[in-house]
Amino acid sequence: MKNTLIAAAIGACTTAAALPAQAQSSVSVYGLIDGAVEHYTNADAAGNGVTRSPSLGGGMFPSRIGFKGSEDLGGGLKAIFTLENGFAPDSGTINQGGRLFGRQAWVGLAGSWGQVTIGRNYNMLYVSSFDVDVFGPSQYGLGALDPAVPNGRSDNSVAYKGTFDGVTLGATYSLGRDTSAAGGASGTNCAGESATDAQACREWSALLRYDQPSWAVVAAYDRIHGSPTAANGLNTSDKTDSRLHVAGLVKGEGWKVGGGVLLRDNDGSATQPKSRLYYLGAAYNVTPLLTVDGQIGKLDYRATGNDTKQALVRATYLLSTRTAVYVAGGRLDNDGTAAVALSAGGSVGAGLSQTGIITGIKHSF
C-alpha cells in the first residue's frame, strides 16, 4: 500500500512537471445599479401624463452586472473575456431581449497590436458615441431619437480594436446580428448564418478615431442586412439599414463640449428612409462633486416633416466615488405624425410634445 502511494505521488509530480508553467490570471466582478422615478406628459393621444419607474435604463446608466478577466500567456499576449448582464432594477428582469449576458459576451486575445474578440460584441457605431455623446446611454438621451445607438451590439460577431499613438482603429463582422425575437432595438429576430442566403442578417461596422489631450474626432459606419424573419421592415437580405456617424469633442479643466451628426439610409422604411440626427452637448464641473450638463438634438427626416427636436439638462452630485444622485429634465417636440418618446421605453401621442423629469441614485461596484 505504501509503495502504491509513493508511485502515485511520483506520477503526479511527473505529470505536473510536464505541464506549462501556471500563467497569471485575474477575474473580477463588477456592476452598476441605477434606480429612478420619473414623470412625463402626453403619454397617450388623450394627453395624459404618467409617473413610473423606468425599466430599460436608469436616469444616468443602464444597470448591469459583469465578470471580466485576463490570463497572461507570455510574450505580451493575453487571453481576455467579458460576460455582462443587463437588468431592470424596478423588477429584476433581464433586458436586451431576455439574453442572460445581453450587454456583452465575448472571449479573445489581446496584445500590443490590439485585441480580437468573438461573441456578442459592441458594434463600432456604439463605440463611436463614447465621450462625444455627453448624456450617453441614459434614460433621456440620443437613444430616444435613434434607439440603435445605445443598443449597438452584435451577436455571432468578430471584433477588432487597437490604439496606436492616439489613433484608434476598430471593426466588427457579424454572421447573424440578432438571435432574439423580442423585437425593438434590443431584439430584431435576425439570427442569420444561413446556408441558402449568405447575406441574411449580416452586419459590419468600422471605426477611426484620433485623440489629443484636449480634443478628439471620430467617424464610424455600420450596416445591417435583413432577412425574411427580421423586424423593422428589413424583410429581405438585400435590404439594408446603414448609419454614418461623424463627431468630435473639445475639453478643458472641468468642462467638455461634444457633438456630431448621424446620417441614416434605411431600406426598411418606404416613406422616410433617409434621416439626419444632429446633437450638441456640454458638461461643466461646478464643484468637484457637482456636474451640470445639457444637450440638444434634432432628428430630421428628409422626405417628410415628421421631425423631432430634443433638449435635455441634468445635475449630478457625487456622494462618494461610487455613489451619485441626480435629477434631469427634458423637452421633446414631435412634428407631423412623429411619435418619439422622451424616455427610453416610454410612450407619447403622435405629433405631441413631451416634458419630463427624472431623479434617482446610481451606485457602482
* Domain annotation covers residue 70: yes
* Domain annotation covers residue 19: no
* Domain annotation covers residue 293: yes
* Domain annotation covers residue 242: yes
The pLDDT score that the predictor gives to residue 4 is: 44
Provide the domain count of the chain.
Answer: 1
* Domain annotation covers residue 8: no
For residue range 156-169, what is the model confidence (pLDDT) as tens digits? Answer: 999 999 999 999 99
On the 0-12 / 13-18 / 19+ scale of CB atoms within 10 A, 321 is exposed
* Domain annotation covers residue 3: no
Alpha carbons 247 and 282: distance in angstroms, whole number: 14
Least confident of 13-17, 38-42, 92-96: 13-17
* Domain annotation covers residue 155: yes
Per DSSP, the residues of 135-164 read S-SSSSSGGGT-TTTTT-EEEEEEEEEEEE
Alpha carbons 49 and 40: distance in angstroms, whole number: 6
Domain span at residue 248? 27-364
pTM: 0.90
Higher local confidence (pLDDT), 55 or 83: 83
* Domain annotation covers residue 13: no
Q: Residue 298 belongs to a domain with what CATH number?
A: 2.40.160.10
For residue range 225-274, what is the model confidence (pLDDT) as tens digits? Answer: 999 999 999 999 999 999 999 999 999 999 999 999 999 999 999 999 99
Band the pLDDT of 24: cuts 50, 70, 90: confident
pLDDT at 9 over 90: no
